[in-house]
Amino acid sequence: MLITSLLPMLERYSLGLDLTAGADGVVTVTIMPRKAPGAKHDPKAAEVRPIAITATAAEIDAELAKGDAGALGQMLAERKSLADQIAEQLAATQHAKTAAAKPAAGKKAEPAKASADPKFSPVTDAKGNPVGPNANPPQPAPAAPVANEPASLWG
């Protein structure tokens, strides 16, 4: 029953098994997925985390008898689903990188527009904000106070 339950994982991985007997008839079965020799699939860290089942031998046998509907079967299905999701995400990311690189390679750099005042930098960032040592133009000096007039906040 154990081997039949593990067949879905054996399609993608090489498996290591560890059986440990505990007190009162409790058994721990640890399944360690690994990359199969010669396999094209390169498993990610989430896929090769060990699976540990701790219960009595009779409970483990009963759960394994449920096949795909049992706990191990569901866990294997989730692992396979996770592996498929990871593969799809990696493919989508690669596709996006390729698509982004194509238009960028076809565009020619536009020459920087000359500023009317040579003290100010014509270089801007991606949002159009000026950058460089002259990015912030100097502010005019405040007007000198005039005798017999109150001070003004507006110049």
pTM of the model: 0.46
Q: How deeply is 124 buried, as exposed, middle or buried, from its count of CB atoms within 10 A (0-12, 13-18, 19+)?
A: middle
Residue 101 or residue 132, greater confidence:
101
The most confident of 37-46, 73-82, 91-100, by mean pLDDT: 91-100
- Give the residue among 95, 60, 70, 56 at the shortest CA–CA distance from 8: 70
The predicted structure's pLDDT at residue 2: 74
- Rounded distance between C-alpha atoms, residue 75 and residue 64, angstroms: 12
Q: For residues 123 and 112, is the Cβ–Cβ distance under 8 A? A: yes
The predicted structure's pLDDT at residue 121: 47
Q: pLDDT tens digit string along 15-30?
A: 889 999 988 889 998 9
Return the DSSP state at 141: P
- Rounded distance between C-alpha atoms, residue 19 and residue 42, angstroms: 26
Q: Reply yes or no on whether the pLDDT at 140 is more than 70.
A: no
The predicted structure's pLDDT at residue 64: 78
